[in-house]
A = this chain, B = another copy of it.
């Protein structure tokens, strides 16, 4: 059926996402454009729009991959990590390191605002939820006297916190320089929070 298809639709999507990721890594979100991606994969703009709804759609898929990698790192860190609070600290460290080492892709996940009519698909929301689930799981052993809801609440508060430090620090708004200082801040937050959370 297919005509002049050097690549299938799926291959094209794959190529486009990969090329776009490269551009984001090198030039940041600002440097990304439909024409650049098209050129990079040896096609023209029009083709890109046969395979993606629009740029937001492409970005969504890049972000999905970033979240997958982030989740893999976080998950991996939980396999061998000592006691419960060590595990949560690990989780924080991994999060910060990831953001520091791949700032452009990380930033795009959390800073890109999709146009209002663009609905965030469920499968994407689940990738975010999965991250919080890891935190929740890490909190469980420390929360014998807490309800399920309290644990959920705590995981959101704690991870919101880690995320906030990460964002402010990378934007240079925390008056700290270097990853190590950010790691220290995260440790401060998690440690103190856990102390309060457990000593009820």
A binding-site residues for B, Cβ under 8 Å:
28-30, 107, 110-111, 113, 115, 120, 128-129, 132, 153-154, 156-169, 171-176, 184-186, 188-189, 191-197, 199
Contact = CB atoms under 8 A, between A and B. Distances in A.
A129 B168 CA distance: 12
The oligomer's copy count stands at 2
A190 to B, nearest CB: 9
Given A196-B191, A196-B196, A132 B175 contact: yes
Contacts of A184: 153
B129 A157 contact: no
A49 B163 CA distance: 37
B196 A174 contact: no
Contact of A199 (B111, B193, B199): B199
Contact of A174 (B30, B160, B176): B160
Contact of A195 (B120, B162, B199): B199
Nearest to A152: B175
Contacts of A129: 175
A185 B153 contact: yes
